[in-house]
Amino acid sequence: MRPSSPGETLPYQETMRNIITAATATGHVVIVGRGGQVLLADKRDVLHVRVVAPLEQRVAYVVRREGLDTDERSGPHTLHADTV
């Protein structure tokens, strides 16, 4: 669970660091998100992979996930979020 207040951020980050470090110490693991790319940046035996779907697929996924109709999905937010 992500922290709900700024005071919970540091303990959350420390916990995630401990979990990811312990998982990588056991051998072959896959870390999806959770800051693994930052925490493991200095390790030479780590493979970082970024997978990106085409824009049309990402838009369709968000439309389904958010329950939007086709009129709501078009607008400035789509392209802006894609370039950030």
- Tokens 């109709």 locate to 69
More confident of the two residues 1 and 52: 52
Q: What mean pLDDT is predicted for residues 26-35?
A: 84
Residue with the bigger pLDDT between 4 and 23: it is 23
Q: Please choose, from the candidates 20, 15, 10, 13, the residue with its C-alpha nearest in 3D space to the C-alpha of residue 43.
A: 20
